[in-house]
Chains A and B, each alone.
Chain A
Amino acid sequence: MASIDPPLSESAVQEAASVRPAASLWSTGLVAAAAWVGTAALIELWPEIIPQPYGRELAAGALVIALLLAVVAATGKLGGKAAVTIRYYGPWFLASALVVSGWEIVTAKTGLLPVPFFSSPQSILEVFFDDWERLGISVFYSVLLLAKGYFFGALAGFLTGVTIGWSRAASYWVHPVLRLIGPLPATAWLPLAFFIFPTSGSASVFLIALATAFPVTILTWSGIASVNRDYYDIARTLGAKPLFLIFKVAIPAALPHVFVGLFMGLGTSFAVLVVAEMLGVKAGLGWYLQWAQGWAAYANMYAALLVMALMCSTLITILFRVRDWSLSWQKGLVRW
């Protein structure tokens, strides 16, 4: 967890804002704007080896980015918080213009990379324009399936973790089972689960829950087990009963560990989700990828991968927001 770099902490934004408070002109922004104008010109003016639709839309998009950067560069700090964020990512805007141009050249313009395995930017844009409905539905089904599985898995893992962390008897019986079954990848259950459960959907919910529950259980358990014993002594001398010790001492003290478990569980649940959708469930982004491969629609696969990356990243961002809010008492939290 500690290795995740803080890309946009509050202080970094403030720093970026305070570095050039007086500068009315933002040179990096102007260069980036010029680069995006160049990208637009390259897309529009250099003929493609095989003509493709949506080149003009892509060029228009590049011009919009260029315009945005130019406006921010000219108006300085007037743009508020959004402008500050754009300024912070100035070098990234410049770099991405270069990447898009290079990608455009080696695919659509010269065909250096073999078509159709490598798709040009406009062919991916084409997927978003022409197939957005199917992509959108796939995202909806993926999120729905993931939410069900993750919810039950996180809940089961948390309850199991608290129980075995608190009760010696529960730990005696559950620990060996956990040691044997836990490390088994949830995907190994896939053939059996599809056979046992009435629908592939319920089987997938079970598998995602299983994949989520293991890390959540282990981390919750270790969190409860590592609570400073003095906290209990203090609470007991102040008149606390066992329920108070569990809910007001053990669980809050273990919460930082629980969130590490929830984070790890979310990661493994993505893997199981995609595999389950590829092998059994007839909906979702995993299914879309499989379907696109069947039609050799490589551009659709790149588009779906991009959407999947955005989906996973957004879900992790949400988890981190919830954690930051719940653990606001801690200092030096890693930001996502």
Chain B
Amino acid sequence: MVVLATKEAELPAAGQQIDIRNVSHQFELEGEPLPVLDNVDFSVEPGSFVALLGPSGCGKSTLLRLLAGLDQPTNGELSVDGEIVGEPDPSRILVFQDPTLFPWRTVWDNVALGLEAQGVLKRSRHRVDNAIELVGLKGFDKAYPHQLSGGMSQRVALARALVNEPRLLLLDEPLGKLDSLTRLTMQTELVSLWQRAGLTAVLVTHDVEEALFLSQRVLIFGPRPARIVADISVDLPYPRHRGDPRLAELRREALGHLGLAATW
């Protein structure tokens, strides 16, 4: 009983703590070094929702790839829960701007990908069903990706990430390619998914309103090589309202940091 109880208590995995210490990164482009991150240094509290906001191509996505373990930084250290990030691990999952579903797999098989890769699919088939239900795609199990709309595809991509019960969700402009109405709906859904799963979420976006509407804290990056120019705390409870005057105030502040104050 005791064992069971602790197990139950552990199930809603708490989010991971992120510490990024003096991280710089550069690419080699035709033999020339191209710096993309310049001495980035910040921490993220476990279970919080942080947005990284900045102009396109400033290096925010690179930071997510480093956090996922897909690339290693040129300088500095990234650690998650005190451990330095090495290889990719299913506890930290990256959701890309393109859903990039495997076209030869059905929705169900796409969502099952991670469990299959980790060799635990046989005993956790119900987790796949739950994840599909969670993103509202029940009944689409057997559909192939080419039969889905953009929004549905991105929901499948989210389910594919969430089924692994990640403790850190790295979102690389996941709503960037959706039409604006679907985008607004999915923003609300993202917040409720994050709240239910109790994980840490890091969202990369270049949409000021999206960053403020979704996250508890917005880090604003300057143009490449990216460094943090501002750290805005969004002190508003959920569910939030788009017409909230406080959001407008924060938006004005954020635009100022991005050098767009004149457009207000």
Which A residues fall within an 8 A CB radius of B? 228, 230-231, 233-241, 244, 248-249, 252-253, 255, 327, 329-331
B147 and chain A: residue at smallest CB distance = A331
Would you give the 0/1 interface string for B122-145, flagging 1 where the beta carbon is closer than 8 Å to chain A? Answer: 000000000000000000000010
Using A238-B90, A239-B164 as known contacts, say yes or no to A329 and B105 having CB atoms under 8 A apart: yes
A237 touches B104 (CB 8 A): no
**Contacts of B98 on A, CB cut-off 8 Å?**
230
Report the minimum CB–CB distance from B114 to chain A (whole Å). Answer: 3
- Contact in complex: B104, A255 (CB < 8 Å): yes
**Given A249-B102, A252-B102: A235 touches B68 (CB 8 Å cut-off):** no
Whether A237 lies near B70 (C-beta < 8 A) is: yes
Contact B117 A234 (CB under 8 A): no
Q: Closest CB of chain A to B126's CB: distance in Å?
A: 18
Contact partner of B94 (CB less than 8 A), chosen from A233, A248, A253, is: A233
In the bound complex, what is the Cα–Cα distance between A252 and B113 (angstroms)?
Answer: 14
From A233, A238, A255, B164 is in contact (CB under 8 Å) with A238
Tally A-B pairs: CB < 8 A: 65
B114 contacts A239, C-beta separation under 8 Å? yes
Give the distance in Å from the alpha carbon of A248 to the alpha carbon of B94 in the complex: 19
> Counting CB contacts under 8 A, is B118 at the interface?
yes
Closest B-chain residue to A236, C-beta based?
B88
In whole Å, how far is B188's beta carbon from the nearest beta carbon of chain A?
A: 25
Let me know if A237 and B90 touch, CB within 8 A: yes
The size class of the interface chain B forms with chain A is 20 to 34
- A248 and B88 in contact, given A230-B98, A231-B100, A233-B70 (Cβ under 8 angstroms): no
In the complex, which of the residues A239, A244, A255, A330 contacts B90, with contact meaning CB atoms closer than 8 Å? A239
- How distant is B202 from chain A, measured CB to nearest CB, in Å? 14
- A253–B145 alpha-carbon span in the complex (Å): 14
With contacts A233-B70, A329-B144 taken as known, whether A240 is within 8 angstroms of B103 at the C-beta atoms is no
8 A Cβ contacts from B134-174 to A: 144, 146, 160, 164
Report the Cα distance A230→B88, complex, angstroms.
Answer: 14
Interface status of B235 (Cβ within 8 A of chain A): no
Which of A228, A248, A330, A331 interacts with B100 by CB under 8 Å? A228
Known: A236-B70, A237-B68, A237-B88. A230 touches B102 (CB 8 A): no
What sequence of 0s and 1s flags, for each residue 49-79 of chain B, a beta carbon within 8 Å of any chain A beta carbon? 0000000000000000000111000000000
CB atoms of A253 and B100 under 8 A apart: no
Which A residues touch B160, using CB under 8 A?
Answer: 238
Residue B194 is within 8 A (CB to CB) of chain A in the complex: no
Tell me how far the C-beta of A328 lies from the nearest C-beta in chain B, rounded to whole angstroms: 8
Most chain B CB inside 10 Å of its own CB: which residue of A236, A237, A253, A331: A237
User: Do A237 and B100 touch across chains, with their CB atoms under 8 A apart?
Assistant: no
- A230-B96, A331-B146 in contact; A235/B113 too (CB < 8 A)? yes
Give the CA-CA distance A228 to B105 in the complex, in Å.
15
